[in-house]
Structure 1
Amino acid sequence: MSRLAELSLTQLARCYDVAARYNPRLDLIPLLPSAGWSISKVAALEDLRTFLQEGSTQLYEAICAARPSALEPVTIQEVAQPDSDDVPSESNAAVTAQSDAPLRRYQHVAVGGTFDRLHAGHRILLAAAALSSLSNLYIGITSDKLLQRKQHHDLLESFDHRQDAALAFMKAVNPRIAIRSGALTDPEEPTQAATDPSMQALVVSQETIQGGHSINTYRTQHGSKPLELIVIELVGIHAATPSGKLSSTELRAMEAQKRGPA
């Protein structure tokens, strides 16, 4: 769980970067007032274990005081500051500067991805989408048939599993919003974000921002207003994986190594 306060994208990225270094698949959920969470609701969560904190411990102490005695105590962990090697380069400094502001919110938000083995990189993308949405969120999920050439394909989670995990996570982040999902089956076909005139914002990572620009080009050509692009910083540059990089492919490789030869 993250600090119970409004977060900027930069602060959100810092929390998920800590998770990636410790356990890339840690179930870290930001519980913020803007999504309907209160100290009393947070304190009553049976699966709450750790409180990530920046600065004052006032909120942590309030949650502990309100927590029923029958539930396990909550521990506190300070959010680590990024190493000097992790400071964004000049090329993405503009994106980072914009990310320091509190998250803007929209009625209709979209996000997409594969979401195999939900990890910190996925979670920050989904959390930003859930927290940016005031009422409606659409998530596109890559279909099984488009993943046939992925490394360790036999270890890929099914579409239904990936969809259920992503939906459950976003609903935990923001219980107030209505969430719809659909399969991404053809890379040549325009996505829901491209064709839906009511869509207002699209959440992308720094690696997929070009796809966001392509969607906006399509919308402009077809008479729709371009989407606001919510750009998520990369996390897990020094993840707890053999290569130090955070990816589903890396996590599948680790699992394959543990299983050994077939």
Structure 2
Amino acid sequence: MSGKTGLLLLTNSKQIGLVLSSIQQKVTKTLYIQLLNALTDNLGGINTNFLTSIPKYSQEIHGIYTQAARHCKNLDVRVLLSGIKYNINKIKTQNPIDIVIFDRIYNRTDIDHFLKGNISTLTNDYKVLTLDDAKECQNENNEETGCTQSQSKIYKHGVLGGTFDRLHVAHKLLLSEMALRTEIKTTVGVTDETMIKSKVLHELIENLDTRIDNVRNFLSDICPELPCDVVAISDQFGPSVVDPTMDMLVVSQETIRGGNKINEVRESKNLPKLHIHPVELMDEPDRDPAEEKKISSSTLRMRLLGTLLKPIQNNTNIPQRPYVIGLTGGIASGKSGLSHWMQELGAHIIDADSIAHGIYKRGKPCYNLLIEKFGESIIGADREIDRAKLGAIVFKDRNQLEKLNNTVWPEMLKDILEIVKNAKEDVVVIDAAILLQAEWHNYCHEVWTTLVPKQEAVRRLVERNHLNEEQALLRINSQPSNESYLAAANVVFCTLWHKEYTRQQVQRAWQLLRERMCDDKLENCRN
């Protein structure tokens, strides 16, 4: 028994870890949680002692999202607030509910009566699950669910700011705390593209419209009665330093200093200070030493590395075997290390740089072509082409460089395709910085790319190639941007952290590749 969207009616939040671990396979996408003694409490009476109960609800919500991070990493868990704050008669959710889950055993008559009277978004073929059905949750579990110290005051206009990339449980906790403690209106500021450049793997951050829509959707789902403005902000303050109606600012414990700065600016403008409400965020379970201690979007982006980010386009112009991966990326981004690990895993590696060095040799077609186009002045004393002399001609004249590329790249491609054709391995990796510029990706089944921040590439070039910073920047700025590489890539890597973390990315990508290839084989067999 499973469903796309589930509703858990929770009467005992101390049991939440055990409950979530037992039902995570029963729901595939979204799990709503209603804090409610499901069949004995009237929904309209929940808010009788709401103000005095705020600290209790804060603690329970914190505990639920903490346990969700441990047990339901692939589920969109949402704790509903309407039944806590307002006199409502029915639970109403944006997504229709396929499965209703009770954390206690009730008789069927009581269950049917409750479902008919108190839930308005059930699908026609909804299913009901109780702990007795699940079998896994027979015993009480007194696992701690986390705690936040907080007062019972409610405010008129709450505000919160952040990037909100890939909305996760820590975001949901902050947004829920704001909605729980606000009476009239809430405002959420979402950082625009000008503010994300310093973020880890900022190239992988969702676009602004998506992030705004995700925040708005979440808030309107958990508490639709509370008006909310979700706006783009281009600085660290946004509307929080100009709106006189705001009276509460929600921050994490780590960003209290930013909240104090906002109050300093408000004070300088003769605006009343905001009450700063700090929220303790959750630790990341099963974290790698390279990842942040607290749950964060940065860690989620890091965990995308080595996964399939862009669907594979079926290229009927190239044979299905061997399976060809085009590996590219900017200078000093770590392609050689990735190639080495892929070779260890069983791939045949074609190093485009090695091909390029051989393409100039006497006896190769390119040798005479280059002399015809650039003259005999490029020939050295050994009658081989002097790459330094050739470089002096092309790197100061873009037209000459284009002439060189148009001569060399097609000849390199011929050699590369010949190696691909004769490869015995079933996976071939073309390691080429120029893969996209030369349009060799058209001969690949997938494009994999590696990214590092520009400042890291500069540091590596200065250290490895003994260049000064200006020389390093010239080389980096002459190539495509990280965003260009990312736009063409199916799989992305980053070599910014310790080697083992990079190796894990490669192993993850290789395993998923093998699964895709296996699926293709099965599909071909069926056809």
TM-score, with normalisation over the residues of structure 1?
0.77
Partner of 1:73: 128
What pairs with 1:74-153 in structure 2 (closer than 5 Å)?
Answer: 74=129, 81-82=143-144, 96-97=148-149, 99=150, 101-102=151-152, 104-153=153-202
Deviation at 1:44, TM superposition (A): 11
Partner of 2:323: none
Quickly say closer, same or farther: Cα 1:140–1:67, change in 2 above 3 A.
same
More displaced 10-residue stretch of structure 1: 134-143 or 2-11: 2-11
More helix by share: 2
Match among 234, 241, 253 for residue 194 of structure 1: 241
Partner of 1:259: 308
Unaligned 5+ segments in structure 2 are 1-32, 37-45, 47-52, 117-123, 132-136, 310-447, 450-527
Match among 47, 50, 61 for residue 97 of structure 2: 47
What is the rounded CA distance, in whole Å, between the counterparts of 2:95 and 2:111 in structure 1?
A: 10
Partner of 1:228: 275
What is the rounded CA distance, in whole Å, between the counterparts of 1:200 and 1:19 in structure 2?
A: 31
Match among 211, 221, 229 for residue 258 of structure 2: 211
Partner of 1:165: 214
TM-score, with normalisation over the residues of structure 2?
0.41
Quickly say closer, same or farther: Cα 1:43–1:29, change in 2 above 3 A.
closer
Q: Percent same amino acid at aligned positions?
A: 27
Alpha-carbon displacement from aligned partner over 1:9-61 (angstroms, at most 9, x marks no partner): 222211110111123463222223244474632599733757697xx889xx9
The two structures, once aligned, show a CA RMSD in angstroms of 3.3
Contact kept, 8 Å, 1:35 with 1:176, in 2: the verdict is: no
Alpha-carbon displacement from aligned partner over 1:179-238 (angstroms, at most 9, x marks no partner): 112212134xx4311221111111111111111111112222222221112221211x14
Instruction: Give the secondary structure class of the aligned counterpart of 2:215.
Output: helix
Quickly say closer, same or farther: Cα 1:67–1:167, change in 2 above 3 A.
same
Corresponding pairs, count? 242
**Structure label with greater radius of gyration:** 2
Quickly say closer, same or farther: Cα 1:110–1:221, change in 2 above 3 A.
same
What one-letter code is carried by the residue in structure 1 that aligns with 2:97?
Answer: D
